[in-house]
Each structure stands twice: as C-alpha cells, then as structure tokens.
C-alpha cells in the first residue's frame, strides 16, 4: 500500500522465478517472478538514501547488498539464508555509499566492492578487507571489471561528484589490485564512468 523506489534488481542464477530488489532501506525477495514481494532485510517505507545495489555470488550463492543510510553512512550486507545478515558500517570513512559489488571467478570468497571514496577487496568472504584504491577526491567507483582468462587483471573506473568536466579515466591492475596504472583520455571531457562491462 506504499510506494517504494527500486534501486536494483537481481535474478537468482539458478531459478529466474526468485528475484531480489532493493528499496530505500529494504532488500525484498520474490518467489514468483515479481508478482509478490517480502522484505528479507529492513522494511518498506524506511528513511535512508537507499540500498543501491544487490548481487548474488554465482559461486557461493550468498546475497550481497549495500548502499547509504539516513545520515550518509555507507553500509555493506551479506546473507547466506535471507534471514541473518552480516553488516559492515565502517569500512570506508563516512559520508560514503556502496555502488558496485563484483565477484571473482577464481574464489568464492574474493569480492570487490566500490564505494564513494575507495575500492575494497576481501579474499576471505568479508573476514578481512584491503583498501585497493583510496581517492582523496572521493571518486565513486561504479565500474569493476575482471577477466576470467586473466584473474589477476582488474579494471575499474568511476565518477567525481562535480559539475566540472572530468576526463575518462581507467585504472588497471595486473596483480589483483596491489598496484595500479592510470590511463586518462582528456578528449572525453565528461568521461566519468557509471558502469563498466568486460567482454
């Protein structure tokens, strides 16, 4: 009976009737292809900026989500059963927001997460985290690309929250994110990246 914006939508990799969607402060699940929905995290009609992303690990099948709360606090979520959730609230200094979650093909426990201001990685399913890039300009890391043929190579890009022109900038690592080469294309004056897909 209430309106709820949808920020992201994800189909289960093994059953397309199972869908997950995110709203203002909710992760909801449908078992019938979207006809009806039930909250599995949070609730309808919350007060926050929004749960901006939901992804299902194709190898581990756990559900990951993240976004920004009511006081511009970035948070990251993970669940194995839709009922209990692990939650991280202090991985990146606030204000921040989770914008991208990408899973490695080489291990079920390796996950990359793009925040406003930083790109993070875990190799143990979230027990510990490494900051791969920390942006003094608070770049939003929207795009994270991995190649199955070369799992050590990582691509990323992002967007600076500014009305001023910004070049198209790609960051490439050949060692899993430990060091990076930066490539800018100044001819693209409004070149911030909102998404990145490797084919």
For residue 100 the two structure tokens come to 């991208």
Confidence (pLDDT) at 43: 94
Q: What is the dihedral of CA 168, 174, 175, 180, to 10 degrees?
A: -30
Cα separation of 42 and 120, whole Å? 24
Confidence (pLDDT) at 116: 97
Which residue reads 């790109």 in tokens? 119
Confidence (pLDDT) at 163: 86
Which residue reads 């691509």 in tokens? 155
Evaluated on CA atoms 125, 197, 61, 38, the torsion sign reads positive
Cα separation of 145 and 125, whole Å? 19
Confidence (pLDDT) at 1: 67
pLDDT averaged over 10-residue windows placed end to end, the chain, 199 residues: 88 93 97 96 93 91 95 96 95 96 86 97 96 95 90 93 88 95 83 86
């Amino acid at each position: 009976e209430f309106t709820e914006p949808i920020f992201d939508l994800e189909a289960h990799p093994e059953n397309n009737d199972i869908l997950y969607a995110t709203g203002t402060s909710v992760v909801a699940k449908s078992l019938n292809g979207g006809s009806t929905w039930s909250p599995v995290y949070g609730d309808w009609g919350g007060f926050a900026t929004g749960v901006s992303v939901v992804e299902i690990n194709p190898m581990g099948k756990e559900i990951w989500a993240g976004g920004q709360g009511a006081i511009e606090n970035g948070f990251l979520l993970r669940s194995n059963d839709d009922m209990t959730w692990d939650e991280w609230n202090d991985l990146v200094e606030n204000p921040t927001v989770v914008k991208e979650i990408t899973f490695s093909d080489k291990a079920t426990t390796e996950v990359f997460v793009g925040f406003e201001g930083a790109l993070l990685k875990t190799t143990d399913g979230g027990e510990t985290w490494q900051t791969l890039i920390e942006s003094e300009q608070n770049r939003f890391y929207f795009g994270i690309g991995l190649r199955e043929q070369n799992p050590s190579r990582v691509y990323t890009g992002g967007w600076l929250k500014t009305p001023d022109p910004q070049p198209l900038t790609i960051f490439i690592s050949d060692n899993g994110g430990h060091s990076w080469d930066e490539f800018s294309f100044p001819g693209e004056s409004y070149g911030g990246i909102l998404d990145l897909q490797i084919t």
